[in-house]
Amino acid sequence: MKTKFTAALLLLLTGYVGGRMSSASAVVAAQAPAGHVYEMRTYTTNEGKLANLNARFRDHTLRIFAKHNIKSIGYWTPLEGPTGETTLVYILEHPSREDARKNWAAFGADPEWQKARADSEVGGRILAKAPESVFLTPTDYSPLK
């Protein structure tokens, strides 16, 4: 199930809808600097904690990401199936793998992030396991480069 979801998400990210590229992807493709890498992250929450994770991203994480030069491309949750109530998948853009490493380190050390994380977990841990991360590079035929 997770493989089908990931494949569908990548099709959505590349902008193919009904066999043609969507206009939103054309805009993203035109704006993405050459040589950048993308990171797909999958978070699995404990039962009943997806709303807490979404609130943390909405209210804190995205702003703190921007502060540390971590560019958000998009955020998704499955529409159906067993992972629909516990999964958040998102794509980030980084200038390089080295920049990603540096920016993640700065983000993790940020006192604002540490407080937001601690405050959001007062009622218990949100994540059931460590996030999964995959770095991606566009193919030569990808509309998103």
Sole residue written with tokens 């604002």: 112
HEC profile of 56-108: HHHHHHHHHHHHCCCEEEEEECCCCCCCCCCEEEEEEEECCHHHHHHHHHHHH
For the chain, 145 residues long, give each residue's pLDDT as a single digit of tens: 444 444 444 444 444 333 333 333 333 433 455 568 999 999 999 999 999 999 999 999 999 999 999 999 999 999 988 898 999 999 999 999 999 999 999 999 999 999 999 999 999 999 999 999 999 988 999 887 7
| CB neighbour class for 109 (10 Å; exposed up to 12, middle 13-18, buried from 19) | exposed
> What is the pTM for the complete model shown?
0.76
CA–CA distance, 68 with 65 (Å, rounded to integer): 5
What is the DSSP code (8-state) at residue 46? P
Q: Residue 37's closest CA among 64, 87, 73, 77?
A: 73
Question: Within 10 A of 33 (CB to CB), how many other CB atoms are there?
Answer: 8
Domains and CATH numbers, the chain: 2-136 (3.30.70.100)
Q: Tell me what pLDDT residue 145 has.
A: 72
Torsion of CA 131, 117, 49, 78, to 10 degrees: -40
